[in-house]
Structure 1
Amino acid sequence: MTEAFSTYTLWFVNDSGYAGEVCVYQQPDSQQNYETLAWMVTGANPSVQVEFTWSSEFDFLWVQYGPTRAQQVKPATSLGSLIDITYNDFGFTFGPIQTHAEAGRLVVSSDGTIPTHADAVAGIGMGGAGTFAGQLRPNARMPFTPSAALTCLITFGNSRVQVNDRLDPATLNPSGKIQYSGTNRIMTARLDDANTWRITPGPPQSSATTASTGGVKVPRTTLHYVAGRGLV
Structure 2
Amino acid sequence: MAGTQYTLRVINNSTNFVDMCMYQEDPNIGNPNVLSLAWFAKPAFPTTTVVFRWTVDYSFLWSETGELVPGAFFDASQIWPADPANIAPSTPVKGGNQIGLDFKGGAYNFTSTPAANPQAGTLYVKENDQIPLKQASVGIGMSGAGTFAVQAQPRTNLTFTPHPVYYLAAGTFAAGEVLDIGSISNPTDVRFPAGVFSMTATLSEGNAWTVVPTKGLNAVEHKQIIADQRRALAGATR
TM-score of the aligned structures, taking structure 1 as reference length: 0.80
State how far apart, in whole Å, the 2-side matches of 1:84 and 1:123 are. 12
1:113 partner amino acid:
Q
Output one character per residue of 1:6-46: Cα deviation in whole Å (capped at 9) or x when no partner.
21111111001110111100122256311111100111111
Contact 1:7–1:55, Cα closer than 8 Å, also in 2: yes
Equivalent position of 1:62 in the other structure: 62
2:196 is the alignment partner of 1:202: no
Equivalent position of 1:229 in the other structure: none
Structure 2 matches for 1:22-171, cutoff 5 A?
22-30=20-28, 32=30, 33=32, 34-65=34-65, 71-79=77-85, 80=87, 81-96=97-112, 101-118=118-135, 120-147=136-163, 150-158=164-172, 161-171=173-183
Output one character per residue of 1:73-114: Cα deviation in whole Å (capped at 9) or x when no partner.
122144341010112335221113758621110111110121
Give 1:5 shift. 3.3
State how far apart, in whole Å, the 1-side matches of 2:143 and 2:108 are. 21
Question: SS where residue 41 of structure 2 aligns?
Answer: strand
Question: SS where residue 62 of structure 2 aligns?
Answer: strand
Aligned-pair identity (%): 29
Contact 1:83–1:97, Cα closer than 8 Å, also in 2: yes
More helix by share: 2
Question: SS where residue 100 of structure 2 aligns?
Answer: strand
Which ranges in structure 1 are unaligned for 5 or more consecutive residues?
A: 216-232
RMSD (Å) for aligned C-alpha atoms: 2.6
Equivalent position of 1:218 in the other structure: none
1:41 partner amino acid:
A
Name the stretch that deviates more: 65-74 or 109-118: 65-74
1:185 to 197, 202, 222: 197
State how far apart, in whole Å, the 2-side matches of 1:15 and 1:97 are. 49
Equivalent position of 1:220 in the other structure: none
Output one character per residue of 1:42-71: Cα deviation in whole Å (capped at 9) or x when no partner.
111111101100011011111212599652
Equivalent position of 2:12 in the other structure: 14
State how far apart, in whole Å, the 2-side matches of 1:11 and 1:168 are. 24
Question: SS where residue 182 of structure 2 aligns?
Answer: helix
State how far apart, in whole Å, the 2-side matches of 1:114 and 1:72 are. 16
Q: Cα 1:97–1:184, aligned 2, differ >3 Å: closer, same or farther?
A: farther
Equivalent position of 1:228 in the other structure: none
State how far apart, in whole Å, the 1-side matches of 2:51 and 2:101 are. 34
2:185 is the alignment partner of 1:173: yes
